[in-house]
Amino acid sequence: MQGLIDHARTFADREAIVSNGQIFTYGELLERSGSVAAALLVGREDLGEARVAFIVPPSFEYVYCQWGIWQAGGVAVPLCVDHPLPSLRYVLDDTAAEVLIVHEAYEALLDETVKELGIRLLPLGEIPDKAPNAPLPNLAPAGRAQLQLRNAQILYTSGTTSLPKGVVTTHANIENQIKTLVDAWEWSADDRILNILPLHHVHGIINVLSCALWSGARCEFLPRFDAKTVWEKMASGEITRFMAVPTIYYKLISYWEQQPKSEQARLSAGARQLNLMISGSAALPVPTLERWRAITGHTLLERYGMTEIGMGLSNSYRGERRPGHVGLPLPGVEMRLADAENNTIREANVPGEIQIKGDSVFKEYWQKPEATAKAFTEDGWFLTGDVAELNDGLYRILGRDSVDIIKSGGYKISALEIEAVLLRHELVDECAVVGLPDEEWGEIIAAAIVSSGTPDTGELTAWLRERIPAYRLPRRWLQLAEIPSNTLGKVTKNELKKLF
């Protein structure tokens, strides 16, 4: 994203990234991303929005690949490092990726697939550290307004269809998503943040990584979440802010509770020094907020967002952070609650769908014009599918309008997607997937199956694990004679939930 890179030039000597025990400056980031751009361009002037997928664990390398793709005029498509081959192949195929930048750990896994799809494979290790000063394209020769249209990134999101959709954001969308958060949450160049979130979703990419780098701050990566390491980082005084999904706060609390008193005191004292702790991506249970406050003195700032809009609503950085509420629309975000006929609801305490407008809102679902059209009202409001109400001056999320969307561990999961895969198993005649409330995960996935045989759920899980990401695996199973349905034959998922 052009603005982020322009900004970095003013911070050249500052520390930008800590990864694998090493510190890298903004200058190094610009240099290495320039090499990636040169390796991608190989003589071309501009990649012209070609999709460039990359599979690189959270690290300095991830960031310079992302920036290199943007600098070369490509569209960054980050692949999830934990996804099984069919999920990775789907994204490569759907985006018609021209190039895949691959970390060596994934080369063997993807080698055949990229050959079959005719994608150029660019091993990370083959990109030189330094490139001769190759000219980089001007991404907006006709002026900055062009950045409003120029695609920058595609992230995949699960929804009410059986296949994930690519959410396309432009350079201007991303810039707006970042700027609004940098202002609202008062980021400063002296901030240091720990990133433990996956880097194929907006929470990790925009709220943590990109806001830090926009501000001249420092972002430290842990390859994956680990409660002990996170607590140690907080206790060390090395970080000033932290952002995570509610499941992570739950896990941090569990870890703390298992420690002896003296250790608890040390960890709590460390956490108190941070200037901001944020929760989002799923509803933050009030007991988790209260427990965290008792342990660390921090009232978690809860905010609401979505891949398609970036962040929409947020509690206040300096003012009230009311438990169970997500605050007010962020600056630059236009928001309304609407009834089933898309009429604006003006009264308090009346539930309605959250609808959003603004420069942060995505451009389109990749090559899905019908899905894009269906996602907006005629007058341009994006339909989030989330239901909220205004409660004493602040918004409160009440749920979603679709039972087919599940949030587990902060990941959005489509029940329909899991059902479609399950039905391919020879022992599954019928199935239905639902989310069940769970203190730790928000919801856990549960699957009911009808089978003429005697399927073993362990074997079913192993079979699924090769086909869908681990966080989409059902954790509860039920074999039924029939799936509950109404007179029209539609599965009654709320009835099914009761059977669990």
Query: Who contacts 237 (Cβ-Cβ below 8 Å, separation ≥6)?
Result: 270, 273
Q: Which partner from the list ligand MLC, ligand AMP, none does 157 bind, CB cut-off 5 to 8 Å by kind?
A: ligand AMP
Instruction: Please state the closest distance from residue 326 (CB atom) to ligand AMP, in A.
Output: 5
Q: Is 224 in the site for ligand MLC (CB under 6 A)?
A: yes
Q: Three-class SS of residue 156?
A: strand
Q: Which partner from the list ligand MLC, ligand AMP, none does 197 bind, CB cut-off 5 to 8 Å by kind?
A: ligand MLC
Query: How far apart are alpha carbons 316 and 308 in whole angstroms?
Result: 22
Dig out the tokens for 491 from the structure. Answer: 């599965």
Q: Is 253 in the site for ligand AMP (CB under 6 A)?
A: no
Q: Among 63, 88, 326, 449, which residue sits at the site for ligand AMP (rule: CB under 6 A)?
A: 326
Instruction: Please state the closest distance from residue 141 (CB atom) to ligand AMP, in A.
Output: 33
Query: How far apart are alpha carbons 353 and 351 in whole angstroms?
Result: 7
**C-alpha angle with apex 227: 225 to 232, nearest 5 degrees?**
110
Query: How far apart are alpha carbons 390 and 351 in whole angstroms?
Result: 8
Instruction: Please state the closest distance from residue 167 (CB atom) to ligand AMP, in A.
Output: 8
Residue list 259-298, contact with ligand AMP (CB under 6 A): 280-283
Q: Among 306, 333, 356, 428, which residue sits at the site for ligand MLC (rule: CB under 6 A)?
A: 306
**Helical (H) or strand (E) element with 254:** helix 246-257
Q: Three-class SS of residue 300?
A: coil
Instruction: Please state the closest distance from residue 268 (CB atom) to ligand AMP, in A.
Output: 25
Distance of CA 484 to the CA centre of its chain: 33
How far the first Cα of the chain sits from its last, in Å, is 46
Q: Is 247 in the site for ligand MLC (CB under 6 A)?
A: yes
Q: Which is nearer to ligand AMP, 277 or 282 (CB)?
A: 282
Q: How many CB atoms lie within 10 A of CB 46?
A: 15
Residue list 382-411, contact with ligand AMP (CB under 6 A): 384, 386, 397, 400, 407
Dig out the tokens for 451 from the structure. Answer: 């089978």
Q: What is the DSSP letter of 297?
A: S
Max intra-chain CA distance, the chain: 69
Q: Which partner from the list ligand MLC, ligand AMP, none does 224 bind, CB cut-off 5 to 8 Å by kind?
A: ligand MLC
- How many residues of this chain bind ligand AMP (CB under 6 A)? 18
Say if strands 328-329 and 120-123 run parallel, antiparallel, or are unpaired: unpaired
Q: Which is nearer to ligand AMP, 269 or 338 (CB)?
A: 338
Q: Is 417 in the site for ligand AMP (CB under 6 A)?
A: no
Q: Which is nearer to ligand AMP, 61 or 302 (CB)?
A: 302
Instruction: Please state the closest distance from residue 254 (CB atom) to ligand AMP, in A.
Output: 21
Q: Is 471 in the site for ligand MLC (CB under 6 A)?
A: yes
Q: Is 346 in the site for ligand MLC (CB under 6 A)?
A: no
Q: Among 194, 217, 245, 446, which residue sits at the site for ligand MLC (rule: CB under 6 A)?
A: 245
Q: Among 78, 305, 469, 474, which residue sits at the site for ligand MLC (rule: CB under 6 A)?
A: 305
Query: How far apart are alpha carbons 451 and 481 in whole angstroms?
Result: 8
Q: Which is nearer to ligand MLC, 90 or 225 (CB)?
A: 225
Residue list 411-470, contact with ligand MLC (CB under 6 A): 411-412, 441, 444, 470
Q: Among 146, 157, 273, 391, which residue sits at the site for ligand AMP (rule: CB under 6 A)?
A: 157
Q: What is the DSSP letter of 134?
A: P
Query: How far apart are alpha carbons 490 and 221 in whole angstroms?
Result: 46
Instruction: Please state the closest distance from residue 242 (CB atom) to ligand MLC, in A.
Output: 13
Q: Among 68, 409, 469, 474, which residue sits at the site for ligand MLC (rule: CB under 6 A)?
A: 409
Give, in order, the Cα–Cα distances in Å from 85 to each of 58, 93, 108, 199, 291. 19, 12, 11, 18, 39
Give, in order, the Cα–Cα distances in Å from 227 to each of 231, 250, 251. 6, 10, 7
**Of all residues in the chain, what percent are helix, strand and coil, respectively (each to 5)?**
35, 25, 40
Query: Who contacts 305 (Cβ-Cβ below 8 Å, separation ≥6)?
Result: 202, 203, 207, 280, 281, 311, 312
Of the candidate spans 200-208, 326-334, 454-462, 485-493, the one that interacts with ligand MLC by CB under 6 A turns out to be: 200-208
**Binding residues for ligand MLC (CB under 6 A):** 197-198, 201-204, 224-225, 245, 247-248, 280-281, 305-307, 408-412, 441, 444, 470-471, 475
Residues at the contact surface with ligand AMP, assessed by CB under 6 A: 157, 201, 280-283, 302, 304-307, 326, 384, 386, 397, 400, 407, 412
